Amino acid sequence: MTYDNLERQIAMALLNILHYPDERLHTVATAIDTFDEALQQRIEDMFETMYEAKGIGLAATQVNYHKRLVVMDLSEEKDERRVFINPEILEKDGETVYEEGCLSVPGVYEKVTRAERVKVRAQGSDGTPFELEADGLLAICIQHEIDHLDGKVFVEYLSELKQNRIKSKLKKREKQNI
């Protein structure tokens, strides 16, 4: 390992992921307007945290940073990093049901109905605006992560009974881990 790589690894940090039903997950994120070194470091830390947790997407809200920032990598090789800053869905089309999981709701997988295709507008890590049309898993992931930025967790699409069961299960698990 070179000195530069070591220095970069030391600078990166694993972030704490908030777990449902933590109230901070319901905070609506605000826009990012400064694209500086601190933001670039936050993006790197979020990717490192997401990869370590074996996730494919992570919204800043999940790591108690309430800005409109999402990182994503759906590839098996973990080499197709995507950054969405200030994302907004412009269009939705179709309907699909997909079994979703979430780093903030560990061990829980439930079927959720979402739009099959979306068109999103966002900015990249350097502030450059872009638009993207997505379908399949990418469209689902975009919707899931933008929900986090809007203060919504995927289990809130489920019945109240299922939500209460999930809360009880997670609270019990948390007590056992303490």
Q: Catalytic residue among 110, 145, 156, 174, which?
A: 145
* Upper half-sphere CA count for residue 91 (Cβ side, 13 Å): 9
Q: Distance from CA of residue 87 to its chain's centroid? A: 12
Secondary element (H or E) of residue 149: helix 136-149
Secondary element (H or E) of residue 147: helix 136-149
148 annotated as belonging to a binding site for a ligand: yes
Give catalytic status of residue 100 as yes or no.
no
Q: Across 75-167, where does the E strand assignment appear? A: 82-93, 96-102, 105-114, 117-123, 129-135
141 annotated as belonging to a binding site for a ligand: no
Binding residues: 102, 144, 148
The catalytic site residues sit at 145
Binding residues for Fe cation: 102, 144, 148
